[in-house]
């Protein structure tokens, strides 16, 4: 077993390369810059392309163009960049362009604190587009997750043809950890499904049982259309309200109804009436706190969510079935807790959050557990 | 080759719209170049110029206002063999100004057709970046206060290799377009035209007026000799071909036993220039040579050559979940600025903590055991103090051993630097 010392951002880049990513464009921003740096050292020698865009809007725009030629594309930024990505996130949602977007979160609002961590963009990533249509958001806990969840993010982006966020955090992205990369879970690599009948190709045609259209790249033998406008199956603007309604419903259903297939998570602790629910870097402290509490005879169980959006409702209901008290821990002032309250009516839901650039410590969590 | 116009989707412009002319000329231009639809990608954005992609049987990508050049660059880099033609209006040119500058500077082999009709036709004739100050448009008096932009002048000064100003009505527009598309590099055509739906309702502008106005301006003759250079994609691929693949991250096998069992936290407080972050990495690598799990968090000012530099390390026999630091086992204090960032923590140190302290550094009073580092009198330069402090720890067999530190250094460094750091290690541990 050989261990390497790498930070979360480097692990994202290695995971992307392993998933088949060959196009990256980004604009430097702390704490995401080292993803750009690492992709720049990895991609060009591997026959891929890495660009530094003139701004964030351009960076994701380059990725969307490249993705439409069939390349697996990724971009990375932090909160201020996600703000600028918004119009292109909507484009990727509505026009079903696969892309992985890494958000190494930092303390906001606005330019905020470049070198302080937070999980302040959890709702922003879900709702920061102009449609309200769903996206996928995965949340790594540590460097190993940065690697394997980046691979999963590509798989999901390709399978469902949608933007997939990796909700990292300065405290994961820029923290170095010793890790045995060879031992990290390597999911099989998926690619988008290509249309076989290119003669009769319609870019948004849906056949029976399909929820995602087959793909042909721009540059294929037959002309391929892509548009950001509300379109019919032929990729031209439509004004047919029935067609529009079924298109919107399909974009909603293709993610909302499939989340059980990619509800990544960890369950820890002992069966207990108190259940902690958390995600991201706070899960590191929660794992430690739960271990200490269980050793001291204070039973508590832990659910670490690694798929945040769509909300893995059945996983959460199932895991919380026996719990009387649910404590939601977040590195913000309360965002995902509202989903938990919505899903678990009738249960006592406590919230513990902090947003001052410091990590929530295991000690704080132990206190929350025993105080209940 | 037949016309590439989409017979099922004839142009839908207002009667008399200049865009209609450009549509026909673009089709003829493709014909002159003998291009098939699958060899072309038309990339458009918002406004009436954004309808272009629908009129042709080519690859097409229609996106957000002003951003067409960004998608086009992604497509061209991924598929260099495609002929990429971008249509934008003067509106998209204004909102996407940064992308025009970047495209000119980059010089990818693409063609930009700016369909310049001096206003935002689709939203009611508001003023754009090219609206003359004396025009009557849908933005009240606002355009009178601003100066219109010369697209060609901007493109040329931003480094475009091919710049041409045309009229939608000139007879050889198709030939002009064909020349621009065939040109190896980023070509910009600023094509002036009339928007009958909005602009000419209140402003007099005829094809003749456009021809006369173009004559008044210094001519843009196409290729810009002073900007001539390699095409970006060719240059990129040529450069990338000579890059060596990056080696995967170095791996470390367990070779030693750690001097003390359990989990250890080390806080390194110093200044920019003292190689604090590198020393933190070395400590982690040293731990890993004894099979320990390791983590490192760093903190430094954005002015990287000035101010405090702090590194927090955990070494543990067990998997480390929480990577934050509590009460450290060892504090290495090499600068006052670094200490001041952690005063409240330092005041809480108990007697299990060992503080290695450089001269002149004052810590708040605490129960910690103190050990004085005097590297200065031994002629060791400040940039080597952090590593020397690790050597001091190794000498005391505290958290790391001499062998572990040596193992880390031989993993991290090569050549002359390795020789120098090993000499330093020997100097400290021999005493």
Band of pLDDT at residue A199, cut at 50, 70 and 90: confident
Residues A240-267: what's their mean pLDDT?
A: 97
- Put simply, whether A145 touches B (Cβ < 8 Å) is no
Q: Which of A223, A290, A302 best tests the B interface by mutation, with the highest count of B CBs <10 A?
A: A223
DSSP B36-66: -GGGEEEEE-SSGGGGGGGGBSSEEEE-STT
- Put simply, whether A183 touches B (Cβ < 8 Å) is no
> B400 and B249 in contact (C-beta within 8 Å)?
no
Residue A246 confidence (pLDDT) above 70? yes
Contacts of B296 (CB under 8 A, 6+ apart): A5, A175, A176, B280, B281, B283, B284, B311, B312, B313
Whose structure tokens read 């821990």? A329
Write the residue in A42, A65, A363 that is nearest to B61 by C-beta: A65
Q: Identify the CA nearest to B201 among candidates B88, B92, B124.
A: B124
Q: Which residues of A touch B9 (CB under 8 A)?
A: 236
Band of pLDDT at residue A198, cut at 50, 70 and 90: confident
- Taking the alpha carbons at both ends of chain B, their separation in whole angstroms is 86
The span from the CA of B72 to the CA of A61, in Å, is 9
Residues A72-90: what's their mean pLDDT?
A: 98
Residue A254 confidence (pLDDT) above 70? yes
Nearest-neighbour CA in chain B from A3: distance (Å):
5
> B85 and A83 in contact (C-beta within 8 Å)?
no
The span from the CA of B84 to the CA of B58, in Å, is 10
Residue A372 confidence (pLDDT) above 80? no
Nearest-neighbour CA in chain B from A56: distance (Å):
11
* Bridging pattern class, strands A176-179 and A163-169: unpaired
Residue A263 confidence (pLDDT) above 70? yes
Residues A238-245: what's their mean pLDDT?
A: 97
Q: Which residues of B touch A228 (CB under 8 A)?
A: 62-64
Q: Which of A13, A23, A219, A220 best tests the B interface by mutation, with the highest count of B CBs <10 A?
A: A219
Q: What is the pLDDT of residue A175?
A: 98
Does B243 contact A362 at a Cβ distance shorter than 8 Å?
Answer: no
Does B38 contact A221 at a Cβ distance shorter than 8 Å?
Answer: yes
The span from the CA of B210 to the CA of B197, in Å, is 17
Q: What is the pLDDT of residue B169?
A: 98
B233 → chain A, closest CA residue:
A49
Does A45 contact B324 at a Cβ distance shorter than 8 Å?
Answer: no
Nearest-neighbour CA in chain B from A211: distance (Å):
22
Q: Which of A1, A2, A3 best tests the B interface by mutation, with the highest count of B CBs <10 A?
A: A3
Q: Which residues of B touch A13 (CB under 8 A)?
A: none
Q: Which residues of A touch B323 (CB under 8 A)?
A: 142, 171, 175, 177, 281, 284, 359
Does B74 contact A362 at a Cβ distance shorter than 8 Å?
Answer: no
ipTM higher than threshold 0.90: yes
Residue A209 confidence (pLDDT) above 90? no
> A347 and A135 in contact (C-beta within 8 Å)?
no
Contacts of B355 (CB under 8 A, 6+ apart): B330, B331, B332, B333, B349, B363, B368, B369, B370, B371
Structure tokens at B115: 């369909």
Does A45 contact B320 at a Cβ distance shorter than 8 Å?
Answer: no
Band of pLDDT at residue A337, cut at 50, 70 and 90: very high
Write the residue in A65, A142, A287 that is nearest to B74 by C-beta: A65
Nearest-neighbour CA in chain B from A171: distance (Å):
8
Q: What is the pLDDT of residue A357?
A: 94
DSSP A220-288: SSS--EEESS-B-TTSSB---HHHHHHHHHHHHHHHHTTGGGG--EEEEE-S-SEEEEE-TTHHHHHHH
Structure tokens at A136: 């996928």
Residue A86 confidence (pLDDT) above 70? yes
The span from the CA of B315 to the CA of A177, in Å, is 10
Write the residue in A41, A66, A287 that is nearest to B78 by C-beta: A66
Tell the CATH topology of B18-241: Rossmann fold (3.40.50)
> A279 and A263 in contact (C-beta within 8 Å)?
no
- Put simply, whether A174 touches B (Cβ < 8 Å) is yes
B317 → chain A, closest CA residue:
A178
Lowest mean pLDDT among A166-170, A347-351, B1-5, B120-124: B1-5
Does B322 contact A53 at a Cβ distance shorter than 8 Å?
Answer: no
- Give the residue ranges of chain B where pLDDT is below 50: none
A14 → chain B, closest CA residue:
B248
Write the residue in A54, A115, A236 that is nearest to B54 by C-beta: A236
The span from the CA of A35 to the CA of A31, in Å, is 9
Q: For the sheet with A21-26, list strands across it.
A: A49-52, A21-26, A72-77, A99-105, A163-169, A136-138, A307-309
> A185 and A148 in contact (C-beta within 8 Å)?
yes
Q: What is the pLDDT of residue B305?
A: 86
> B85 and B113 in contact (C-beta within 8 Å)?
yes
Residues 51-80 of A with CB under 8 A from B: 51, 53-55, 57-58, 61-71, 73
pLDDT digits (tens, 9 = 90+) for B46-72: 999 999 999 999 999 999 999 999 999
pLDDT digits (tens, 9 = 90+) for A7-20: 999 999 999 999 99
Question: Angle at Cα A270 formed by Cα A269 and Cα A275, nearest 5°?
Answer: 70
Nearest-neighbour CA in chain B from A346: distance (Å):
32
Domain B263-430: which CATH class? alpha beta
The span from the CA of A258 to the CA of A255, in Å, is 5
Band of pLDDT at residue A1, cut at 50, 70 and 90: low
Residues 255-294 of A with CB under 8 A from B: 281, 284-285, 287-288, 291
Q: What is the pLDDT of residue B431?
A: 67
Indicate the domain borders of chain B: 18-241, 263-430
Residues A25-39: what's their mean pLDDT?
A: 98
A222 → chain B, closest CA residue:
B38
SS3 B382: helix
Nearest-neighbour CA in chain B from A70: distance (Å):
9
What is chain A's percent helix, strand, coil content, to nearest 5? Answer: 40, 20, 40
The span from the CA of A161 to the CA of A212, in Å, is 7
pLDDT digits (tens, 9 = 90+) for B175-230: 999 999 999 999 999 999 999 999 999 999 999 999 999 999 998 999 999 999 99
Q: Which of B38, B247, B277, B321 best tests the A interface by mutation, with the highest count of A CBs <10 A?
A: B321
Nearest-neighbour CA in chain A from B122: distance (Å):
15
Q: Which residues of B touch A223 (CB under 8 A)?
A: 37-38, 57-60
Q: Which residues of A touch B324 (CB under 8 A)?
A: 285, 359, 361
B100 → chain A, closest CA residue:
A54
Q: Number of A:B CB contacts under 8 A?
A: 216
Structure tokens at A179: 């890790």
Q: What is the pLDDT of residue B232?
A: 98
Does B59 contact A61 at a Cβ distance shorter than 8 Å?
Answer: no
Q: Which residues of B touch A1 (CB under 8 A)?
A: 253-254
Nearest-neighbour CA in chain A from B329: distance (Å):
18
Q: What is the pLDDT of residue B99?
A: 98
Write the residue in B9, B37, B252 that is nearest to A223 by C-beta: B37
Question: H-helix or E-strand containing A82?
Answer: helix A79-94
pLDDT digits (tens, 9 = 90+) for A92-123: 999 999 999 999 999 999 999 999 999 999 99
C-alpha to C-alpha distances, A28 to A34, A102, A253, nearest whole angstrom: 8, 13, 35
Q: Which of A2, A91, A218 best tests the B interface by mutation, with the highest count of B CBs <10 A?
A: A218
């Amino acid at each position: 077993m050989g261990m390497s010392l790498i930070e979360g951002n480097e692990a994202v880049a290695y995971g992307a390369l392993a998933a088949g990513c060959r196009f990256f464009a980004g604009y430097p921003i702390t704490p995401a810059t080292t993803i750009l740096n690492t992709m720049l050292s990895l991609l060009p020698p591997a026959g891929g392309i890495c660009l530094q865009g003139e701004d964030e809007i351009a960076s994701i725009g380059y990725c969307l163009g490249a993705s439409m030629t069939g390349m697996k594309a990724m971009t990375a930024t932090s909160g201020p960049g996600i703000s600028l990505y918004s119009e292109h996130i909507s484009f990727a949602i509505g026009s079903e362009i696969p892309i992985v977007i890494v958000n190494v979160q930092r303390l906001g609002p606005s330019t905020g604190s470049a070198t302080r961590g937070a999980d302040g963009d959890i709702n922003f990533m879900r709702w920061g587009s102009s449609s309200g249509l769903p996206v996928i958001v995965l949340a790594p806990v540590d460097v190993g997750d940065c690697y394997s969840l980046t691979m999963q993010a590509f798989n999901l982006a390709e399978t469902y043809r949608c933007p997939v966020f990796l909700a990292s955090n300065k405290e994961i992205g820029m923290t170095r950890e010793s890790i045995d990369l060879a031992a990290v879970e390597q999911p099989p690599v998926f690619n988008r499904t290509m249309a076989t009948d290119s003669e009769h190709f319609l870019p948004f045609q849906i056949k029976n049982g399909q929820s995602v259209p087959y793909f042909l790249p721009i540059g294929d033998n037959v002309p391929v259309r892509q548009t950001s406008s509300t379109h019919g199956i032929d990729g031209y603007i439509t004004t047919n309200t029935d067609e529009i309604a079924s298109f919107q419903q399909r974009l909603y259903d293709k993610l909302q109804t499939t989340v059980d297939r990619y509800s990544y998570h960890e369950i820890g602790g002992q069966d207990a009436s108190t259940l902690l629910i958390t995600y991201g870097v706070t899960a590191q402290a929660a794992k430690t706190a739960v271990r200490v509490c269980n050793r001291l005879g204070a039973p508590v169980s832990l659910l670490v969510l690694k798929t945040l959006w769509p909300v893995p409702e059945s996983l959460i209901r199932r895991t919380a079935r026996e719990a009387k008290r649910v404590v939601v821990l977040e590195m913000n002032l309360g965002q995902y807790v509202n989903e938990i309250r919505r899903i678990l009516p009738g249960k006592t839901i406590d919230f513990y959050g902090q947003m001052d650039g410091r990590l929530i410590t295991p000690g704080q969590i132990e206190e929350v557990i025993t105080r209940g | 080759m037949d016309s590439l116009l989409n017979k099922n989707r004839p142009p839908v412009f207002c009667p008399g719209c200049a865009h209609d002319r450009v549509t026909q000329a673009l089709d003829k231009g493709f014909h002159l170049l003998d291009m098939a639809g699958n060899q072309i990608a038309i990339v458009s954005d918002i406004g009436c110029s954004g309808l272009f992609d629908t009129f042709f049987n080519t690859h097409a990508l229609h996106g957000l206002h002003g951003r067409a050049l960004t998608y086009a660059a992604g497509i061209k880099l991924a598929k260099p063999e495609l002929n990429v033609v971008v249509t934008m209006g003067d509106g998209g040119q204004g909102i996407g100004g940064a992308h025009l500058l970047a495209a000119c500077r980059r010089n990818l082999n693409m063609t930009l057709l700016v369909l310049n009709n001096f206003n935002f036709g689709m939203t009611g004739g508001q003023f754009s970046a090219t609206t003359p100050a004396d025009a009557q448009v849908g933005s009240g008096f606002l355009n009178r206060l601003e100066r219109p932009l010369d697209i060609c002048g901007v493109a040329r000064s931003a480094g475009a290799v091919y710049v041409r100003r045309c009229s939608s009505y000139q007879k050889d527009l198709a030939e002009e377009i064909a020349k621009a598309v065939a040109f190896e590099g980023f070509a910009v055509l600023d094509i002036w035209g009339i928007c009958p739906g909005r602009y000419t309702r209140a402003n007099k502008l005829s094809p003749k007026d456009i021809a006369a106005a173009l004559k008044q301006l210094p001519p843009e003759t196409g290729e810009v000799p002073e900007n001539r250079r390699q095409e970006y994609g060719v240059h990129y691929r040529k450069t990338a071909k000579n890059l060596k693949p990056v080696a995967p991250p170095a791996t470390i096998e367990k070779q030693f036993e750690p001097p003390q069992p359990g989990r250890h936290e080390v806080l390194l407080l110093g200044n920019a220039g003292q190689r604090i972050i590198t020393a933190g990495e070395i400590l982690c690598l040293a731990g890993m040579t004894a099979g320990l799990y390791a983590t490192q968090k760093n903190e430094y000012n954005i002015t990287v050559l000035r101010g405090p530099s702090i590194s927090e390390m955990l070494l543990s026999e067990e998997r480390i979940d929480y990577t934050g630091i509590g009460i450290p086992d060892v504090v290495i204090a090499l600068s006052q600025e670094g200490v001041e960032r952690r005063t409240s923590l330092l005041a809480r140190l108990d007697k299990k903590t060992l503080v290695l302290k450089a001269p002149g550094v004052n810590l708040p009073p605490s129960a910690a055991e103190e050990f004085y580092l005097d590297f200065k009198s031994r002629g060791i330069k400040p940039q080597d103090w952090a590593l020397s402090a690790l050597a001091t720890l190794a000498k005391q067999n505290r958290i790391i051993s001499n062998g572990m530190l040596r193992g880390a250094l031989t993993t991290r460094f090569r050549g002359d630097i390795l020789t120098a750091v090993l000499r330093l290690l020997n100097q400290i541990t021999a005493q």
